[in-house]
Homo-oligomer: A and B are copies of this chain.
Amino acid sequence: MPKVTFLPANKSIEALPGSSLLEAAGAAGVKAETPCGGTGLCRKCLVRVKSGKAVPGGTLPEKLANEGYILLCRAKLGEEPLEILIPESTEKGKFTKAAEDLLLVDESLLPKSLSPLVQKTEISVSAPAPMDGLSDYDRLEKAFSPIGEMKLPLGVIKKLPETLREKNGNVSVVYSDEDKSITRITSEDSKYYGIAVDLGTTTVAVLLVDLETGEIIDSGTEYNAQISCGLDVISRINYARTPHRLEELRDKALSTINNITKKLAESSGIDINGICCASVAGNTVMTHLLLGIIPEYIRLDPYTPAVYSLPPVKAKETGLLINPESPVYIAPSVGSYMGGDITSGLLCTPLAADPEELNLFMDIGTNGEIVLGNKDFLIGCACSAGPAFEGGGIQKGMRASAGAIESVIVGDDGNIAELSVIGGGKPAGICGSGIISLIAELLRKGYLDPAGKLIRDKNCPYVKTEGRSASYYITDDVYITEADIENLIRAKAAVFSACRVLLSKVELDFGDLSKMYIAGGFGRYLNIKDARTIGLIPYLPDDRFVFLGNSSASGAYMTLISKEHRNRESDIAGKMTYMDLSIVPEYFDEYVSAMFLPHTDLKLFLK
């Protein structure tokens, strides 16, 4: 029997040719996430063949397949021994690198060629000559003139005399393709970089990109330091009501981005001044706070933000710690609660490429944003799901980090038959996907009714009542209350009914959807079956669901390196109609119908 070895853990097992590699991994004691249930959809179990040949399965972009990537859940052992490298993130669980989410995007939507926010060119500036009346500035201008009319900021002029004389006027010039403003001049032909930033309310992701190749060198994630000033955008707006506190929030967003960037630059051995542009995607409130713009009127009727779409600003104006003259592209917003994270995320879907077919995009987090459309129209809305999907407002809830229960199987006698804890070990709490998994299992096994009440008359020892309320105990310490379940029901009802209202606005239904794209940190780890059981998503064939992970970061990467994608994003923002659900009367009726598990209209969830 051929042997398969899993690296870097270096655990081996022998198995029959044709065996499932996922099963082999499990037998070898190597953990791999398969949130989509091993259907090959979420691509979370992507691994790389180091030596030998596996029998591939599922579909992967050609480029990835050529590089030796396979889906652990779909690939099979061949005749020969195999060495498989499991990426750290795949093994660790929930915290994948933002960069890897790009693998979830259909290849046809990715940039075909490089046209980053800044370009680089080598030019030769003539030597200073006596009495020719030409300053260093004048001679540079002359040498640059075939490209266009240069704009040279003071910050670059300051060192120009030295730079021009270091290598006899041979210099490397980084400039904005848009307005020909020069970002950097060096006498060394140094590499140049950009960063793509997803500024999330909760988590901030930064991708460090080599602009010569478009390659993502590294990426990093940290919690947004603004969390200490409020968990959601409304509480941040409230916090920002004095200039001092607005400045504090600005500073916290900045320092989060800057910290990640510094670490990435250091670990990659890159001069931070060589980072010459940035693309930032964030919701409308995050964008305002990053730029220090008063966000107050976003939360007040008629909910008008200061700005939707800005021309690129300079890094030095924003406080980003990259080259100070770098253009910073900010993804355009569409509404007070339909931000640049969504226009950016849409770039990961065919909606950015004017498809014939109807598609729906949903970004699930504390806020849920939903966009529906095809080549003819684009309509979007936002709803407040609350923090339940992220473990917030749940008694034993926690974020999807080490110690969190992320999935369960309930046995026939109501006990916990199987338990998956992030990072292994003793469970400390339960995260969003764990709650969904538990609720779905309790429903399926008959310990929960459609109204979200635990069944008391089964005498299940894990269902404990206290007064009029009951709780289900997973372990002695970790439990879920009926109030927790209700919070989750509210969250899923908000999202599901928003989808329904959007569809009904265009007189269509779920069945008309070609694809349903699910994004958000949470989105990537959603178990389709569980989500359908609780009524978060309708019944549709599995292959209609596409998980995108952090599509906002992926979109920011695309706008960083591709002018076509910046134009697409601008088109999306211009095309989209924003529907304010608070003034749509049907929304409340839909919401009430969705307050059941799965719904009052059961046929939506049946084949």
Contact residues of A with B, CB < 8 Å? 128-131, 133-138, 151, 153-155, 157-162, 165, 291-294, 296-297, 301-311, 313, 317-318, 334-335, 578, 580, 583
Some 29 contacts from A to B, beta carbons below 8 A apart, are: A128-B302, A128-B304, A129-B304, A131-B580, A133-B334, A133-B578, A135-B304, A135-B306, A135-B307, A135-B308, A136-B297, A136-B304, A137-B306, A137-B307, A137-B309, A137-B310, A138-B307, A151-B311, A154-B291, A154-B293, A154-B317, A157-B306, A157-B310, A158-B292, A158-B293, A159-B294, A160-B294, A161-B293, A161-B297
Among the listed B294, B303, B317, B578, which residue makes an inter-chain contact with A153, where contact means beta carbons less than 8 Å apart? B317
Contacts of A165 in B (CB 8 A): 297
Among the listed B130, B135, B161, B303, which residue makes an inter-chain contact with A294, where contact means beta carbons less than 8 Å apart? B161
Among the listed B154, B294, B310, which residue makes an inter-chain contact with A318, where contact means beta carbons less than 8 Å apart? B154
User: Is B137 a contact partner of A294 (Cβ separation < 8 A)?
Assistant: no
User: Is B578 a contact partner of A128 (Cβ separation < 8 A)?
Assistant: no
Least Cβ distance of A134 to chain B in Å? 7
A131 CA to B301 CA, complexed, in Å: 11
User: Is B130 a contact partner of A302 (Cβ separation < 8 A)?
Assistant: yes
Known: A153-B317, A155-B317. 15 other contacts (CB 8 A): A128-B302, A129-B302, A130-B303, A131-B580, A135-B307, A136-B304, A154-B292, A154-B313, A154-B318, A157-B293, A158-B293, A160-B294, A160-B306, A160-B307, A161-B306
User: Is A137 a contact partner of B308 (Cβ separation < 8 A)?
Assistant: yes
Least Cβ distance of A41 to chain B in Å? 36
A128 CA to B134 CA, complexed, in Å: 51
Q: Which of A130, A134, A307, A308 has the most CB of B within 10 A?
A: A307
A184 CA to B296 CA, complexed, in Å: 21
Least Cβ distance of A527 to chain B in Å? 37
Contacts of A304 in B (CB 8 A): 128-129, 134-136
A293 CA to B317 CA, complexed, in Å: 20
User: Is A291 a contact partner of B135 (Cβ separation < 8 A)?
Assistant: no
Contacts of A578 in B (CB 8 A): 131, 133
A-B pairs with lowest CB-CB distance, top 4: A128-B304, A130-B302, A137-B307, A161-B294
Task: Evaluate whether A307 and B128 lie within 8 angstroms (CB atoms) in the complex, with A161-B293, A291-B154, A317-B155 already known.
Answer: no
User: Is A293 a contact partner of B160 (Cβ separation < 8 A)?
Assistant: yes
A578 CA to B130 CA, complexed, in Å: 11
A138 CA to B311 CA, complexed, in Å: 12
Contacts of A305 in B (CB 8 A): 135-136
Least Cβ distance of A317 to chain B in Å? 5
Least Cβ distance of A380 to chain B in Å? 12
Contacts of A297 in B (CB 8 A): 128, 136, 161, 165
Contacts of A292 in B (CB 8 A): 154, 158
Q: Which of A155, A292, A297 has the most CB of B within 10 A?
A: A297
Contacts of A296 in B (CB 8 A): 161-162
A309 CA to B133 CA, complexed, in Å: 11
User: Is A157 a contact partner of B307 (Cβ separation < 8 A)?
Assistant: yes
Least Cβ distance of A414 to chain B in Å? 50
Q: Which of A128, A136, A306 has the most CB of B within 10 A?
A: A306
Among the listed B129, B158, B307, which residue makes an inter-chain contact with A136, where contact means beta carbons less than 8 Å apart? B307
Among the listed B130, B134, B294, B583, which residue makes an inter-chain contact with A301, where contact means beta carbons less than 8 Å apart? B130
CB-nearest residue of chain B to A246: B158
Contacts of A134 in B (CB 8 A): 304
CB-nearest residue of chain B to A284: B135
A292 CA to B155 CA, complexed, in Å: 9
Contacts of A161 in B (CB 8 A): 293-294, 296-297, 306
A571 CA to B580 CA, complexed, in Å: 58
A306 CA to B152 CA, complexed, in Å: 12
Task: Evaluate whether A580 and B136 lie within 8 angstroms (CB atoms) in the complex, with A154-B317, A157-B291, A158-B294 already known.
Answer: no
A296 CA to B296 CA, complexed, in Å: 50
A305 CA to B140 CA, complexed, in Å: 13
A158 CA to B295 CA, complexed, in Å: 9
CB-nearest residue of chain B to A134: B304
Task: Evaluate whether A130 and B291 lie within 8 angstroms (CB atoms) in the complex, with A136-B304, A157-B307, A161-B306 already known.
Answer: no
Contacts of A317 in B (CB 8 A): 153-155
CB-nearest residue of chain B to A163: B294
Contacts of A138 in B (CB 8 A): 307-308
Contacts of A291 in B (CB 8 A): 154, 157-158
CB-nearest residue of chain B to A305: B135
Contacts of A130 in B (CB 8 A): 301-303, 580, 583
Contacts of A301 in B (CB 8 A): 130
Contacts of A311 in B (CB 8 A): 151
Least Cβ distance of A297 to chain B in Å? 5
A138 CA to B291 CA, complexed, in Å: 17
Contacts of A160 in B (CB 8 A): 293-294, 306-307
Least Cβ distance of A163 to chain B in Å? 9
A137 CA to B291 CA, complexed, in Å: 14
A310 CA to B156 CA, complexed, in Å: 13
A73 CA to B123 CA, complexed, in Å: 64
A304 CA to B317 CA, complexed, in Å: 31
CB-nearest residue of chain B to A317: B154
Q: Which of A155, A157, A308, A313 has the most CB of B within 10 A?
A: A157
A163 CA to B476 CA, complexed, in Å: 57
Contacts of A135 in B (CB 8 A): 304-309
